[in-house]
Structure formats: structure tokens, C-alpha cells
Structure 1
Amino acid sequence: MTTNEKAAAATIRLAATAEQHGGAYEEPEAYRGSRARTMFDRPNAKDGTVAIILPEDEIPNLPRQSLVKIRSFDRRSKLVDSEYVGMVVAGPFAEPDAMDADAPTLKVPAVHRAVLTPRFHGMASVEILGIESELGGRKVMLPARSRPAPNSPVFSLDESRVAEILGLVVEADKKPVRLGLMNTVADIAVYVPANQKSVLPRHTGILGTTGGGKSTTVSGLAKRLADQRNAIVIFDAEGEYAAMNEPTSDPVMLKVLEERGLSAEGAKDTALYALDGRDFANPRHGNKKKFKLDFADISIGVLTEILDVPEAQQSRLQDAYDICKVLMEKFEIFPRNKDERPKMLEVDELETGWPRMTLEMLIDIVDGAIAVSQKAKTIEGTMMSFADKDEVFNAIKTKGIAENKFSWLGLKKRLWTLRRAKIFLEQSGARETPLDVEDMLTPGRISIIDLHDMDAPYLRNIVIAQILRRIQSCQDEKYAALQEGGNKQLVPVNIFIEEAHEFLSDKRIRQMPGLFDQVVRIARRGRKRHIGLVFVTQLPGHLPDEVLGLINNWVLHKIGDMNVIQRLKKIVAGADEGTWSSLNNLPSGNALASFTHMTRPVTVAIDPTPCKLLMVD
């Protein structure tokens, strides 16, 4: 009998034996449709995770972050003991069948350029999230107190259940805003509620290295929040967002938008703001607005920090400020009359400056102090902010200031440096435009504060700090009216602060504690008043723990600094070790998203922005 004949006869005998014992093997009913099986625990097993094994053809169907259901059986009763829900947190890794991955049988052919690929299977690690149970006619998750039995079937969960378990479902009345697609086999959209106090008003951090996709995230998120009638304010340090009113023309963005069934379109209602005397990053914008800040909005403490004056000049500045207040009352600048006198007691000088005070007034006081220190008989060089310079001269002499000419001259130099920046309204500036914060808080409007033409970080910080305070003050008034039953609606406000590391770096917080305290107060009050801050930076390592402590929502693009990743691991809860390990290799446009409405962080392919971004060299 030939070899082929022997093989055929053996096959016939095997088939006959199988038929005698009930026929060909059939997978048990309870296992049908499963993608994998649980394994016995290995020596390196950890509590809360189980190993699963899956056939070669199922490996692409269970990538990392896939959610699965494990149906655990009691061996004695052969009934379902528990249905576990878990997430694939590592793998699937390919392993050859019936041999070790480093077996010589595999090494030798590869070394000699031969191709030998034996049959293989996948191994993965699943973190148990809980046990699925029925309660009140709906499925709920309960804590898992045990582990699935070995050889239990593992099933994929359908998209709707995955979204429900991870908290990605946002009800219509919460105004869902799409962030992107979850990085799994299925196209599961990730949504953020635009109008839920427990989410965006709890503040957000968008962090990542240059080129990771932060600008795309900011632009797209801002546009979609505005579409849901939120008021958006963007502090644009580089001028990237100045053309958001136009649709994107980037071919890569257009292609991905088309693949996801989205379209390119500009934001419907945008306003581009620039300080008077500064250039616009997008001169073609149809709604450009010039503005200046009100010096009276700056508290004396913050002004001292901004000027970075030495200790001796701090005392001179406080003296000048006090004299200025006295003269303003004398010349009926503030208060103007008896009816305004009670308002003097309402001024919180930790929050704001003295009403109607200008930088020019303060410089006049300093000029007078210099004249007194030089034993002059009158003031030279005054800007005539007050009606009678002799009255100014006498008020300074009456105050009994420290007659240190060099200290006063040093202070004058710093005040003139600030004046030359031309960021404040002048007393005689009838043609100058103050900032209309009420207009910025229009529902659905994106207000872009163009700061690209301001090289000095301290000037940008003044603008950001004072606009933040004005927004908070305006929202406070609306909140009070709402509490009293007024007709004003509290519009959700989302404020994006680009280059946050320059505004709130560790060094600046030490130098400017008053400014930081002001931002902290805005952040804390904002949660009740529906103001959400979004800190955006490519240098998260420069953000101090005090700032990171204000953030509850995170969009983490590629981060190359492992020290930063270690810091974030202590703050952002729920992400598995494999996710953190992949953070320094995330492709552009991908991010780890963690929001307070989610049950755990997920990796998201961020939707491309439909708006035009101006490229920055």
C-alpha cells in the first residue's frame, strides 16, 4: 500500500470513529459567536486582569481598548455564573502554536532569509471593569468580586453598549459635541456635553508637543461648541485661529473630513479683536474690532507684580496710588458726587483697581513726587490728568512721601514702559474703544483675541488677566440676575488660553502670586457661573502642580517627556499602563481623552477641524 493510500485509509477510520462517538465536533451553543477564550492564570498574573487567547483570524477584531463580555461558567452546573465586562489593555500579541516564540525552528529560517510562518494565535490581557447585571429593566455595572473561570468564551460588545459603558453617550438636552472616533475596530463616536455643569466648567487641559494636533483640537472643539450656542473666547498667541470664519483648504483635513462624513465650513459668527495700534493676523476678516483695556480694572497688587518693581519702588507705587485716590475724590473724578460715595466702600482692591483711575494720572503723581524730592517749586513734565497741578504738588507734599529721587525715577521709567505699550485707555481717549465683554458673550460667537503682534509675554499676560476678570465680572452679574429671577440667560462660556505655560508657568506663579490667585478665583467661581477654562500648551512640563490641580478634563496629544507623563499618571485616573506607554508615540491627531462624564480615559482619533487654520512658521 502506498503512502497516499495509507493516509486515505487513516482518514476514513478517523471519520468512522468520530461518527461512532456522536459525529464531528460542534462548538457548544453558549460559545458560538465568541472571539476568544480565557486562559489559566500565568505566574505574572495580576488582580483585576485575565489573559485571553484568540484564533489568528480574530486578532484584528480585538485591538487594545476594545470592550468585551466574558461569560463565565460553573463547571459543575454548566450554567452561566457571571457575565464580566472588560477592556483589552495589552495586545493582542502573536504567539506561534505549540512552540515558543524564540524557538530555533523559527530563528534559523529567518536568519537565512527563508520564510517560515507557522500557525499562530493571539494573546491579550483584559482588565475587568465589572459584572453586568439587570436592575430595573436596564443593564448596570457592579463591582467584580471574583475572576472569570478558565476557558470562558469572550465576546465583542456592540457599539451602543460600549458607548454606554464608557459614558460616551450624551443626551440631546446636554448638547453633544463630537470630539472624534474611539480607536477601536468599530466607529464609535466620542461626544462631550456642551451644556453640563459637571463637565466643561470644571476646566480642561489640551497638552502635547508641537505637531501633535492641538490646534486642530482647539479649532474643531471651539467651532462645535459655538454651534451649540456656547460663547467662545480664544486667546490666540500666534494668530493661528484668525481665519476660523473660513472653511479649511488643507487637503489632508478635507480628505479625512470626507472619510468621516463631515464637511469643511467656517465658524458662523466670529469676531477678531486686536489692541488698538496692533496689526491683525488676518486683515481680510469681516468683523475686526480694535480695543484697549481699562487701567482701572487692574488691582494695585497685580500692577506691582506686572511691573516687577523692587521693594523700595513698591512702597513708592503704593504711595502714588493712595495720593491718586485722594486727588480723584478732590477733583470729583471718583466719586463724582455724594450719591457715588457708597461705591467707594464696595471696591474690592484685591480684585480690581480704583474706578476711573488712569495710568496717566499715576504718572502725574510720580512726576510730582520727583519734583518734591528734587525740592522743586512746581511739577515739570506733567500730563495734566488733573485740573490743577499745584493741587497735585501740594497733595504730594502733604502726604509726606519718602524723598528718594532715584526710587521715584525708577518707578517712572517702569510706568512709562507700560504706557508706551499703548494697551490702556487714556483719560482723553474719546476715540479709543473699550472692550465690550457683553458683546463677546453672545451665544454662538467665537471671539478671537489676536495677540500675535505682542512679543512681550508680560503684556500678553496683562491682556489675558484683565479680560478674564471682566468676563467673570459680567458672568457674575448675569448669575445674580438669574438667581433673582431675572430674564437674563446664563450663557455657557468656554475660554481657550493658548501658550498657557507663558501665562501660568512655575516661575511666573512665584513672581506673580496675586495674578495667579486672581485666576484661581475665576476658575473656582467659574464652575458655578458656567465659565470653563481650557489651558493649551506644548510645554506641559512648565505648568506647575497648582495649575494642573485646577484641571479635571484632559486631551493629551503626543508627549515626549516621560517626567511629564509620570506627573500626569498621578492626576489622570483610569488609564492603563499600556495607554500611558503609548502616549509618547501617538500619531498626529490622536489623543488620550479623559472627561468627567466618561467612566475611563479612551484614545481618540480627533475629528479634523472644518475651519481654516493659519500656519505658523
Structure 2
Amino acid sequence: MATSGNKLADTDEKIFIGKGEETAWLTLALANRHGLVTGATGTGKTVSLQVMAEGFARAGVPVFAADIKGDLSGISEVGEAKDFTIKRAKEMGLDFQPDQFSTVFWDVFGEQGHPVRATVTEMGPLLLSRMLDLNDVQEGVLNVAFRVADENGLTLIDMKDLRALLDAIAPNGGKKAADDEEDPLAPIRKAAQSYGNVSKATVGTIQRQLLVLENQGGTKFFGEPALTLKDFMKTDRDGRGMVNILVADKLMQSPRLYATFLLWMLSELFEELPEAGDLPKPKLVFFFDEAHLLFNDAPKALMDKIEQVVRLIRSKGVGVYFVTQNPIDVPDKVLAQLGNRVQHALRAFTPRDQKAVAAAAQTFRPNPKLDTARVIMELAKGEALVSFLEGGGTPSMVERVMVRPPSARIGPITPEERKAIMDASPVKGKYDTAVDAESAYEIIQKRIAGTAAPADGEGGGGEGGGLLGQIGSIAATIFGTNVKRGRLSTGQVIARNVTRSVTDKVIGGVVADLGKSVGGSIGGSIGRSLVRGALGGLLRR
């Protein structure tokens, strides 16, 4: 904490959050140590989130935030000098200056923002299993499906690709071995069975879960052009960080899809960004609203990896801020990584509530001047208990402060204002039209019709499956003899024959450049498919 004598304005090194007996400053150099904003409904969490987002944007740090109720959209419009905002600012010794911030709206459903898409390959079997709520056996079959797709040159882009692949690996009930010659998908079925018993019943269960996901809008999420996360990490012409807002009011009707999507984003950031060490300010700050949804019913293996990613992504220059009602919503291992805390009021009407208040109080460094547990229940709207990291990264003593008023508008914008912002967006036209390129579904249909080229290891004359055959397959793809638009077999052959470290350092960049020139966004994801998402990759390490 800084003393109240300091100038109450954001600087190149810190963000002014609020003022009580002491002034609350969030140090930019320690902002990538993550944070937590908690409090009961209606106590001011969204305003605190907006104040922090504005501060980061002023400092040139891009922001990504989920907007559950639409209230955060006002950050894109000039604030209004209302009586209560002017009064609160004066009480802090702050001159209220209306402001607005460059904003890009995103929407998984493409209705109130630019569409957000990922390919099935990028999502990977681990996160997809969580999204589908699969058990261990079903998750195992899904892993088999992804392995078979790799080995047979089948790119998984959208839902119909995954459905076609699952149909292809399902046992052909009632068929004898002699009938395999008449079944163009027999090599795929055999490959699947070689990894273990893949039953038709299990495949059917996964297909039904896919239907549930499709009914929740998952079809719109999977496809191309896939999101390039670097589009989140931009500054505007004035050097301010862009504020990226995920419109999540409709997405929240599918909590598992919402939580898995944001977890996928974290894993992609972890995978793509290089090590950065300690920076003067973060490269990106990520606000995860309704954070408890991330941890609900998550299996232990996934929980361990969430904790690992949260811990390690700090070194990539990314700060993660969870927003939820109570600190007990966040597992202890993750909570221990969150150094910057803002606690709004909690109400204790039941014994369980009283335990929650006590637990929240215990997460702060004690202040002899405050009875933290009592103050948490007394906080007025807009007040908060805060503790930010200082000095060598140690948490400051908890202080009671009034959060400063935001400079931009408080509350939602109109549909007309949203449309104007989207029309002027720096990514306008890049993601707005879906592309249905050739992928697993089309390739499987061609094989059934007898028009597709043989998969790796099938036929192909004297080259067989040896090294020469693999080199030939790479050359065939590069020079366009077998695979349309440069898709697939290059990445799959490299994935099977080049180690992870060599791929990351040498071949990944070459293949990504090749893919970008001839294969659209899937080319850019070939390198990523080698590890297929940070969480999936971590589990295999």
C-alpha cells in the first residue's frame, strides 16, 4: 500500500484502485501474480472489475473479460459525470475525468460480437471429454479416436468431422473378417481396435453427448476460421490496451461450455506464449467471471493441471483474475496462487454463510486495526477489503477502501452502439464468415465412395510404411499430389517422427508458415496439434 499523500492517478508502474485510511495501488510488475475479486451479488464486483480493466488498458495492457450480465460493455463508451461519481471522486481527492476504451466484442454464438471458434483438434480429447461430461471409459475411446485421426490423415475441425470419425471407428456389427475387403473403413476400425476394445455402445453414448452439446450451441463454436489468440493481445493507436469482452449472457445457459471454453483459452495461451520472466507489466490480463464453474465437478487430474497452468502461466506474462462470490469457491491450491485480492461484502444469514465469511477473512494478511470478519459483513456497496502484492511480492495488510468510480460508462450499451463498435472493429471480416474446408468428414465420405487416396500405410506400392514412404508422403503433401489445400499429412507425419523439442524449435515454424500460405487457419494449428492443447500436453508429460 502507498500512503494517502501520493498523487491519486494511474502511473506507469501502478493502478489506483481506491482509498480509505490508506490508498490502494495495484503494482503492474506484480499484476501477473494473479488475483481474486469476490463478494455477494450486488456489492460492486463488476465495478471493481471495470476499474481494474480500465487501469490495465491505460497502462497499455490488453484485457480479456467475460461479461455475464452485459454491464461491462459500458467500458466502450464515454463515462457520464453523474452526481454520485463526482462526489465519490472528490471524497478521494480525485478529479473525475470521463473516458472510454477501445473495445472488441466476441460471442461464441456470433450474435453480439465476432464469432469465436476453435477446431476439435485444438480443443483436444481432455477438454472435450470435460465438455461432454464423459466417464473414464468414454474418455479413453475419445483418445483412441484422436490417435486414429492422426494416423489416418483425418483433420478434425467441426462437429460433423468428429461424428464421422466416431462412426468410422465403431465396430461394424455382424460383419465377418472376410467382409473387411468390401469395407473401405476397415483399416480405420482395425486401427481403433488395436488400442483396446472400442464398443459400439460406448461410441453411441459419446454421439448422444455430442447431440446435447450441439443443442447447447456447440456446433457454432467448433469450426474455421479458428481464433488467433494474438488478436486479443493488441493495443490501439494511442498505445492503450484493447479491451476484449466475451458476451456471455447466452453462453452462461451452458455453464460447462462456458467454463471449458475459457479453460481452453488459458491452455492455448500457455501453449503459444514464450517464457517472459518478470516484466514491468503483463502481456495480457484475463478476467474469469463466475469462476466457480471452472472447478465444479472437475476430476482430480484436471484440477491438478488447472493449478499447474495457473501457476506456470505467470512466467508467460499473463495475469489471471478470478471473479466469484466467495473465496471458498476456488480450490486451495489455486487460491494460493492469487496474490492480489479484492473482497466485497458477504452476508451471513446462515451458519454456512458465517463459516464462509470466516474463511474469506482468513485469506487476508491480518491488520491489527481491523476485525476482518466483522468488516466483511459491514461493507457498503462500492466498498471493499483489499490486499495487493507489494515489495518483494508479499501481500500487504488488508485495508478497507472505497473503490474509485470508473471513468467509462457504468452499465450496458445499446444495440446501436454495439453495432457501431463492431463495424469499426480491427478484426471485422476476419471471423465473421464460417469456412467449411475439406476435413475428416469429406475424406471419410470419399473413402466410402472409393475416390480417396490411400491413408498412410495402406497400399501405395513399394514405399510401404518405412522412412522413404513417410518422406514421400511429406513430399506429396507439400507439392499437392494427394491432399487438398495442403492439409494434414505433413503435420501428422512430423508428429509421429520428430520429437517434441525439435518440432517446437525447428519444424513447427516451417509447417505453420506453410499451412498459413496454403491451408487457412488449420495450417497455423498444425504445430499446435502436435501437443493438442496445453492441458492435454501436460498430461502426457
TM-score tier, shorter chain, comes to: 0.5 to 0.7
Q: Assess if the C-alpha contact under 8 Å between 2:67 and 2:289 holds in 1.
A: yes
How far the C-alpha of 1:463 sits from its partner, in A, is 1.4
Per the normalisation by structure 2, the TM-score is 0.64
Identify the range of structure 1 (171-180 vs 574-583) with the bigger mean alpha-carbon deviation: 171-180
1:272 aligns to 2:105 (yes or no): yes
Counterpart of 2:205 (choices 410, 414, 418) is 410
How far the C-alpha of 1:423 sits from its partner, in A, is 4.2
1:537 aligns to 2:319 (yes or no): no
Aligned partners of 1:376 and 1:537: how far apart in 2?
Answer: 56
Change (3 A) 1:206 1:359: same
* Cross-structure match for 1:115: none
Secondary structure, aligned partner of 1:534: strand
Identify the structure with bigger relative contact order (alpha carbons < 8 Å, sequence gap 6+). Answer: 2
* Cross-structure match for 1:190: 24
Q: In the alignment, residue 50 of structure 2 is paired with which amino acid?
A: S
Root-mean-square deviation (CA, aligned residues, Å) is 3.5
Q: Percent identity?
A: 18
Q: Assess if the C-alpha contact under 8 Å between 1:589 and 1:606 holds in 2.
A: yes
How far the C-alpha of 1:476 sits from its partner, in A, is 2.2
Q: In the alignment, residue 272 of structure 2 is paired with which amino acid?
A: C
Q: Residue deviations 1:453-474, cap 9 Å, x none?
A: 1111001012101111222333
Q: Residue deviations 1:387-428, cap 9 Å, x none?
A: xx954343213543636332221111112333454546799x
Higher-strand-fraction structure: 1
Aligned partners of 1:256 and 1:453: how far apart in 2?
Answer: 34
Show the 5 A alignment for 1:332-481.
358-370=158-170, 372-373=172-173, 375=175, 391-400=184-193, 402=197, 404-423=199-218, 432-443=224-235, 444-454=241-251, 455-476=253-274, 479=276
* Cross-structure match for 1:236: 67
Aligned partners of 2:255 and 2:147: how far apart in 1?
Answer: 28
Q: In the alignment, residue 414 of structure 1 is paired with which amino acid?
A: Q
Q: Assess if the C-alpha contact under 8 Å between 1:501 and 1:539 holds in 2.
A: no
Q: Assess if the C-alpha contact under 8 Å between 2:326 and 2:360 holds in 1.
A: no
Secondary structure, aligned partner of 2:111: coil
* Cross-structure match for 2:345: 558
Show the 5 A alignment for 1:136-215.
162-163=3-4, 175-182=13-20, 184=21, 189-194=23-28, 196=29, 199-215=30-46
Counterpart of 1:573 (choices 360, 365, 373) is 365
Counterpart of 1:608 (choices 391, 394, 405) is 405
Change (3 A) 1:549 1:325: same
Change (3 A) 1:247 1:518: farther
Q: Residue deviations 1:547-603, cap 9 Å, x none?
A: 322212211111223312322343322223523322111111111111111642211
In the alignment, structure 1 segments of 5+ residues that lack a partner are 1-158, 281-287, 334-355, 380-388, 484-488
* Cross-structure match for 1:502: 293
Change (3 A) 1:539 1:515: same
Secondary structure, aligned partner of 2:244: strand
Q: Assess if the C-alpha contact under 8 Å between 2:126 and 2:139 holds in 1.
A: no
Q: Residue deviations 1:370-401, cap 9 Å, x none?
A: 46135499x9xxxxxxxxx9543432135436
Secondary structure, aligned partner of 2:60: coil
Change (3 A) 1:374 1:438: farther
Secondary structure, aligned partner of 2:65: strand
Q: In the alignment, residue 214 of structure 1 is paired with which amino acid?
A: K
Aligned partners of 2:176 and 2:289: how far apart in 1?
Answer: 49
Aligned partners of 1:420 and 1:549: how far apart in 2?
Answer: 37
Q: In the alignment, residue 255 of structure 2 is paired with which amino acid?
A: P
Change (3 A) 1:327 1:372: same
Counterpart of 1:253 (choices 71, 74, 85) is 85
Q: Assess if the C-alpha contact under 8 Å between 1:179 and 1:607 holds in 2.
A: yes
1:292 aligns to 2:117 (yes or no): yes
Q: Assess if the C-alpha contact under 8 Å between 1:365 and 1:396 holds in 2.
A: no
Secondary structure, aligned partner of 1:527: helix
Q: In the alignment, residue 227 of structure 1 is paired with which amino acid?
A: R
1:583 aligns to 2:417 (yes or no): no
Aligned partners of 2:10 and 2:259: how far apart in 1?
Answer: 38
Change (3 A) 1:540 1:278: farther
Q: Assess if the C-alpha contact under 8 Å between 1:440 and 1:447 holds in 2.
A: yes
Q: In the alignment, residue 554 of structure 1 is paired with which amino acid?
A: R
Q: In the alignment, residue 362 of structure 1 is paired with which amino acid?
A: L
Which has the higher Rg, Structure 1 or Structure 2?
A: 1
* Cross-structure match for 1:217: 48
Change (3 A) 1:390 1:517: farther
Secondary structure, aligned partner of 2:274: helix
In the alignment, structure 2 segments of 5+ residues that lack a partner are 236-240, 348-352, 414-541
